[in-house]
Chain A
């Protein structure tokens, strides 16, 4: 006999606890910019990519944690310095694009020395995967609304005794 069960995400919300509120607000804004909803496929907001990354980065080695915290702080200070806004989350599209300019540089195997560039490059990959591997994105892809390239079903190796 097998009872039908639900997953926690269907009945509850992820509680961000690693980033401070201003860092988290910047991460959310950044995620939604990098992965907006497109062609009826959900974006980072619907996929709760920022909430997931709060968990993932919180579990990660300290170097990764520091990169994210510093990068998000930099986005907030730049918003103040260059656009006189309280935070990155308050910027308009054009202003955000100005701060994301380092992503215009060609990708290199070695991470760039500049901290903001390095952070943005990591975030671009992470937000994308966190979105495309989400239940929301994959369900939309399965029902025909999503794009190709969604994370899929894989052959999982269970722990071996």
Chain B
């Protein structure tokens, strides 16, 4: 059968590509959606197993997925195998690039934390003079967040904070635990707020592009999904300079294929979209493509403590239990001396700290653990990383992946702003925990390698100036009018908030703009 003509070719079916398909389909635009991975069958591809039946007793095959700290022996096969799609970095400057190639992408596995960015991010330069503002503000994106949140069924509690705008929540009315309230009281003098986590409920078991966006897109009859399509590069019409198609490889057979399109939407994930553009040698008149790579530095168990009253099984409901969120409070009303921007925490109470935090072994350790059971407090620190030109990805032409496609080389490291912020964060939360009467077992301000949060952002940043940005305020290439990039690569700054809601809102906004442009025949 001959190649078909589609209005829009979408690459990637996760949060960003899925939202593009959903939004364009609703406007009657005919789309071809390619994903590099298979459509998984949850019944067939997963099954319950006791840990002792795994070949490595749950330890995992030594050396496999060494950059994926989230991997374990149960889920090892869900991640992209680095042997198949490698990347390179200086051994002294590691980067944890964590990837999923399946229809639905990482939205099949995300932690579902669902926050908005505020004008402290969109207009960050106005606050501290660093970097660039986004070409849009919260007011521009708010109508789209308003529509995304109900699709994903975001639960949360409204707080009226400027730095964490409220959304269209399913109200979380569950009472705070006593431990949570005590933490809130202790942090109040510093301007801390303790709120509920904001989380996409989805249909309960899944809150993914796979179940919330793609079914409607396909049902409309306007979207054709082709899995196992590994994109090599985009093609450009030499006369017009516009993109007009895509060269891709069948993942399993290695057959080379070509599809045509009137417009292209990249939503292949931050760094895969950038890799496709670099390999296509397009959209980079600014020289900014691949640059300003940032993420959020995450430190799991940055503070581990015990709620003493909950020891020896006295916890129970009301005292401990559940999760909470401490939004950014630094550099809002005051100005810190040795860092700009800020950090957030999410925490849980009512768990049991890991055995490593107790200085004992054998029966004594067991007594320590029995006493601490259900009395634990643990917080993950999430800090803003400054977008710097120096932090970038580029092609490494000496290495190719399993399909012969050149891979990325990473040049990325954290600097003093991040280190100082981390130090302040764990010292401050440690003190707040003590004030709240918690017994602090452990705190650390040591960083995991960049990328660990799986929130890689930037490298195709948007802006009003075509000389310093890759995309305009509609996620549209300054250089090529029929090319859009709708994933996290468009971010100018990322704040400390998990980025998925913003990616979804940006993709919806860009896709509706594209549909309009197609209707008006501007594109």
Residues of A within 8 A of B (CB): 33-36, 38-39, 52, 56, 59-61, 64, 100, 103-110, 121, 124-126, 128-130, 133-135, 138, 147-149, 151-161
Contacts and interface: CB of A to CB of B under 8 A. Distances in A.
Interface residues of B, number: 42
B49 A156 contact: yes
Contact of B57 (A103, A130, A156, A158): A130
Closest 9 interchain pairs by CB? A109-B444, A151-B51, A60-B62, A154-B74, A157-B77, A135-B52, A109-B446, A156-B49, A133-B58
Nearest to B54: A156
B45 A107 contact: no
A157 B362 contact: no
Contacts of A138: 50-52
Contacts of A64: 62
B299 to A, nearest CB: 9
B48 A129 contact: no
Nearest to A131: B57
Interface of B: 37-38, 40, 44-52, 54, 56-59, 61-63, 74-78, 102, 252, 352, 355-357, 359-363, 366, 369, 373, 442, 444, 446
Contacts of B58: 129, 133, 151
26 contacts: A34-B361, A34-B362, A35-B362, A36-B363, A38-B366, A56-B56, A56-B59, A59-B62, A61-B62, A61-B63, A103-B360, A107-B356, A107-B359, A121-B356, A126-B59, A129-B59, A133-B58, A135-B50, A138-B52, A155-B48, A155-B75, A157-B74, A158-B45, A158-B77, A159-B77, A161-B38
Nearest to B251: A161
Which of B37, B52, B446: most chain A Cβ within 10 A?
B52
A120 to B, nearest CB: 9
B51 A155 contact: no
Nearest to B367: A38
A152 B50 contact: yes
- Most chain B Cβ neighbours within 10 Å, of A104, A109, A148, A161: A109
A40 to B, nearest CB: 13
Residue with the highest number of chain A CB atoms closer than 10 Å, among B40, B47, B51, B369: B51
